[in-house]
Structure 1
Amino acid sequence: MAALSHQAMTEEVALCRLPPAAETLLTDLNAPRRLTAHLRAVHDVAAQLLTWVAQTHPGVTVDHESVLYGAATHDVGKVLHPNELSGPGHDHEPAGHALLRSRGVEERLARFAATHASWTAEGITLEELLVSLADKVWKAKRVPDLEQLVTDHLARVSGQEPWEVFMALDDELNRIAEGADARLTYQSSYPVTA
């Protein structure tokens, strides 16, 4: 079964490969193929968002490693709560964080498993906002309050006017959303259960 999960990580599709440490973790956990495909799709969108931030806000410091690892493992708790692969639930969030920490993953990398659905919590970083945004826009879902938080953060740090940041972000999210059908097709090509 590990070979099947590995297939979702390595299949030749127009998506970035997961970070090697995330691939190893998901293989060790015997992660469901659907979960692995989802994580790869969100990771790919996070990489696109990081490229956009670097190009449009070169003075903004972002921890790329944590965003990419966070996107690649944000739903890892669904290994322990497989019912949340095809249904609602938030039990996977604290479970994923605890799972990552129990495997020696640093807090700066593990935190995304717990925070990816909590973008309004106090102290949320730009890195956490980007993972949350990637987890929505990969399937073309737009979340205005999340997008506003990203806009406000980038405007504050870059010194640009919020409306300018929003217009550029909106264009980028529309561009990313255009690939949603392909990402959804890729994810649904893998079964939820083994």
Structure 2
Amino acid sequence: MLLERALTDPAVRPLPPTAADLLRGMDAPPRLAAHLRAVHDVALDLTAWLAASCPAVAFDRNAVLFGAATHDIGKTLHVAELSAPGSQHEPAGRDLLLSFGVPPELARFAATHASWHEPGIEIEDLLVSLADKVWKAKRVPDLERLVVDRLAVASAVEPWEAFMPLDDCLDRLAAGADERLAFQNAYPIGHA
């Protein structure tokens, strides 16, 4: 089964078991599972860097990792958005996770991963969004600025002092984009 192979391929670190079980229960497209693993893999490194480099920044690492592992789960319902632009998967993903008993504080990432400027966006939401961009080496200055502002305030440093180490971290993460893209693209959108 292609979904199972996408969930267990040793090329990328595994998803949290709860997230993998959700994808199995929804019979998710293999490409979606591979994408979520690639973003989760980046989130593992990003959150490890943040915890080590910016200890003054309080964040829920497990929430970020779960969010990275499930942020696009609504694409199980809106499969066309796996290969074309669209945002219907965002509220659908949140609702889908809620219907599977995922707490609202974790289900929110499916809806917030593209909503950086909305009220109530927390550092965890920004980190999921950042992982979802940098996994493919995409740098988004306004998103990064929001993260830098949070890091600077929490660490009581000037924004440029927060930006420089974050920029180095994101450059390192972006360097692995070709391998992650190849991993994702090795899996089909459909189950055939």
Segment drifting more, 76-85 vs 56-65: 56-65
TM-score (norm 1): 0.97
* CA offsets 1:138-157 (integer angstroms, 9 cap, x no match): 00000000000000001111
* Aligned counterpart in structure 2 of residue 83 of structure 1, from 80, 88, 93: 80
Query: In structure 2, what is the Cα distance between the partners aligned to 1:21 and 1:134?
Result: 19
- How far the C-alpha of 1:58 sits from its partner, in A, is 1.1
The counterpart of 1:4, out of the listed 2, 10, 14, is 2
Q: 1:23 Cα deviation (Å)?
A: 0.5
Aligned AA (1:50): T
- Cα offset, 1:12, TM superposition: 1.0
Q: Which amino acid aligns with 1:98?
A: D
Moved more, 159-168 or 91-100: 159-168
**What residue is the counterpart of 1:21 in the other structure?**
18
Aligned to 1:67: 64
How far apart are the structure 2 equivalents of 1:125 and 1:11?
Answer: 32
SS of the equivalent of 1:111 reads: helix
Matched, 1:120 2:117: yes
Residues 1-194 of structure 1 mapped to structure 2, 5 A cutoff = 3-13=1-11, 15-194=12-191
Once the two structures are superposed, residues 84-134 of structure 1 have per-residue CA deviations (whole angstroms, 9 ceiling, x without a partner) of 010010000000000000111001110000000001111210000000000
- Give the drift of 1:59: 2.1
Give the SS at the match of 2:86.
coil
The 2-side partners of 1:43 and 1:148 are apart by: 22
* Count of aligned pairs: 191
Moved >3 Å (runs of 4+):
none
Contact 2:63-2:124 within 8 A present in 1 as well: yes
The alignment partner of 1:129 has SS state of helix
Which runs of no fewer than 5 residues in structure 1 stay unpaired? none
**Paired AA for residue 8 in structure 1:** A
In 2: Cα distance, 1:62 partner to 1:7 partner: 32
- CA distance in 2 between counterparts of 1:145 and 1:59 reads 22
Whole-Å separation in 2 of the counterparts to 1:159 and 1:49? 20
In 2, distance between residues paired with 1:84 and 1:32? 12
Instruction: Tell me the SS of whatever aligns to 1:16.
Output: coil
Q: Secondary structure at the match of 1:38?
A: helix
- The alignment yields a C-alpha RMSD, in angstroms, of 0.7
Q: TM-score, normalised by structure 2?
A: 0.98
**Structure 2: how far apart are the matches of 1:177 and 1:114?**
24
Q: Which runs of 5+ in 2 are unaligned?
A: none
Percent identity over the alignment?
60
Hey, what's the Cα distance between the residues in 2 that align with 1:120 and 1:171? 24
